[in-house]
Amino acid sequence: MTTTATSAGTATGTAPTSLKGVHALVTGGARGIGEAVARALLAQGARVTLLGRSEAKLASSAQALAAHGELGWVAADIADASAVEAAFASAAGRFGPVQILVNNAGQAVSAPFGKTDAQLWRQMIDVNLTGTYHCISAALPAMTNAGWGRIVNVASTAGLIGYPYVTAYCAAKHGVVGLTRALALEVAKKGVTVNAVCPGYTETDIVRDAVANIVAKTGRSEDEARAELARRNPQGRLVQPQEVADAVLWLCQPGAGALTGQSIAVAGGEVTVG
- Told to judge if 163 belongs to the known catalytic residues of this protein, a careful annotator would answer no
Q: Side chain identity at 33, as an amino acid letter?
A: I
Active-site position among 133, 163, 165, 169: 169
Q: How many CB atoms lie within 10 A of CB 209?
A: 14
Cα–Cα separations (whole angstroms), residue 108 to 26, 136, 206, 255: 19, 21, 7, 33
Within 13 Å, how many C-alpha atoms sit on residue 119's CB side? 1
Q: Catalytic site residues?
A: 169
